[in-house]
């Protein structure tokens, strides 16, 4: 009997904190191109876990913008705000198995330790205060956690030393990104996580959680971040200029260049569908650079 190889399943998982900007479009396009290049599916997940940081209408706008760029989810979109039950089940299991623990340390308590938690040091009175919900943390043991990133190669981190026991559910009841992403990547059957390099150093934490929950570890590829013309990182929270869904081709060209691809394949093309087909046909994953392209402004190739 032959074993069926698992079909490639990638995803893009934006937080609805604003419109898509060149950096998030590059992550979306990179994950889409890699999924399609491997004959796989591409799923969309809205990471609406943190209401105070969300911008009303941003999720709908992101979904519409992706559609304008020719990228739509191959399965119903997962909204993390509806997934609390799954996160609660995972947390309960971690608590029962002794991997997670309740913690009443405040930010102030940990300030002498650069915010890194190695042992509960909250004053006795705070620890006994059952009127306040504790945070739940993952207990992180000694040792280096490593993985082979498709773009960056071997990446290793001493999670205990550099991060410490990290939060899974905050004292205010909000779910932490690290727990939600691990539970959802497994629930959606994601085989390949492709995202921005700003999340490279979150991956060892996610691998620790996968091990504790006995979930498979997907393959990882962390895409270069996009820089502005002066070499500064364009981040989600920066006032980066959003991409224009009404005129997708220039931003698509920009994203292809950030992914190390030859954007000349788009020359003379008028529709997004054909642009994506051309980009996919010419796509070479080995050209994706590790570091950001020096300046996306100067590397822009004018359409011929």
C-alpha–C-alpha distance, residues 235 and 245, integer Å: 19
Comparison of 199 and 215: residue with beta carbon closer to ligand GLU:
199
Angle in degrees, CA 75, 79, 82, rounded to 5: 120
Binding mask 172-211 for ligand GLU (x = CB under 6 A): ---------x-------------x---x------------
Q: What's the min distance (Å) between Cβ of 65 and ligand GLU? A: 14
Dihedral of the CA atoms 92, 116, 144, 47 (nearest 10)? 50
Instruction: List the one residue from 15, 26, 73, 178 that touches ligand GLU (CB under 6 A).
Output: 15
Among 10, 14, 164, 218, binds ligand GLU (CB under 6 A): 14
Which stretch, 10-18, 148-156, 262-270, 284-292, contacts ligand GLU (CB under 6 A)? Answer: 10-18
Positions in 37-66 near ligand GLU (CB under 6 A): 47
Residues 249-278 that bind ligand GLU (CB under 6 A): none
Strands 100-103 and 135-138: antiparallel
Indicate the residue among 47 and 149 with the shorter CB distance to ligand GLU.
47
Task: Give the residue, chosen from 8, 13, 179, 252, that forms a contact with ligand GLU under the rule CB under 6 A.
Answer: 13
Cβ proximity of 100 and 205 under 8 Å: no
Contact between 113 and 106 (Cβ < 8 Å):
no
Q: Between 47 and 165, whose beta carbon lies closer to ligand GLU? A: 47
Alpha-carbon span 156 to 144, nearest angstrom: 6
Exposed (0-12), middle (13-18) or buried (19+): which is 228, by Cβ within 10 Å? middle
Dist CA 220 CA 51 (whole Å):
28
Residue number with CB closer to ligand GLU (14 or 260): 14
Nearer to ligand GLU, 15 or 296 (CB): 15
Number of residues that this document lists for the chain: 304
Minimum distance, C-beta of residue 216 to ligand GLU, in the bound complex (Å): 16
Nearer to ligand GLU, 27 or 105 (CB): 27
Number of residues that bind ligand GLU (CB under 6 A): 7
E strand residue ranges, 16-151: 41-46, 78-79, 100-103, 135-138, 144-149
Distance in Å, CB of 7 to ligand GLU, minimum: 20
Burial class (CB in 10 A: 0-12, 13-18, 19+), 44: buried
For ligand GLU, which is the closer residue by CB, 106 or 235? 235
Task: List residues near ligand GLU by CB under 6 A.
Answer: 13-15, 47, 181, 195, 199
């Amino acid at each position: 009997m032959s074993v069926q190889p698992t079909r490639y399943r990638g995803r893009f998982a934006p937080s609805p904190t604003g419109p898509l900007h060149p950096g998030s479009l590059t992550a979306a396009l990179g994950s889409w191109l890699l999924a399609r290049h491997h004959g796989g599916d591409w799923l969309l997940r809205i990471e609406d876990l943190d209401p105070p940081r969300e911008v009303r209408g941003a999720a709908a706008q992101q979904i519409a913008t992706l559609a304008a760029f020719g990228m739509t989810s191959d399965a119903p979109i997962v909204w993390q705000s509806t997934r609390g039950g799954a996160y609660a089940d995972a947390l309960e299991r971690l608590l029962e198995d002794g991997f997670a623990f309740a913690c009443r340390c405040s930010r102030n308590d940990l300030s002498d330790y650069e915010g890194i938690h190695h042992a509960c040091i909250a004053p006795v009175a705070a620890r006994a205060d059952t009127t306040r919900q504790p945070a739940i943390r993952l207990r992180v043991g000694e040792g280096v956690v490593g993985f082979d990133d498709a773009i960056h190669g071997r990446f290793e981190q001493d999670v205990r030393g550099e991060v410490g026991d990290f939060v899974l559910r905050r004292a205010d009841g909000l779910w932490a990104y690290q727990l939600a992403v691990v539970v959802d990547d497994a629930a959606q059957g994601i085989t390949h996580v492709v995202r921005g390099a700003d999340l490279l150093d979150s991956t060892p934490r996610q691998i620790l959680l996968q091990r504790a929950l006995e979930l498979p570890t997907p393959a990882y590829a962390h895409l270069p971040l996009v820089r502005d013309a002066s070499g500064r990182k364009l981040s989600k929270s920066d006032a980066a200029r959003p991409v224009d869904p009404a005129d997708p081709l220039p931003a698509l060209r920009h994203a292809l260049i950030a992914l190390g691809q030859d954007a000349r394949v788009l020359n003379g093309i008028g529709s997004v569908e054909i642009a994506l087909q051309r980009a996919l046909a010419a796509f070479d994953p080995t050209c994706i650079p590790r570091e950001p392209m020096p300046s996306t402004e100067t590397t822009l190739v004018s359409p011929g």
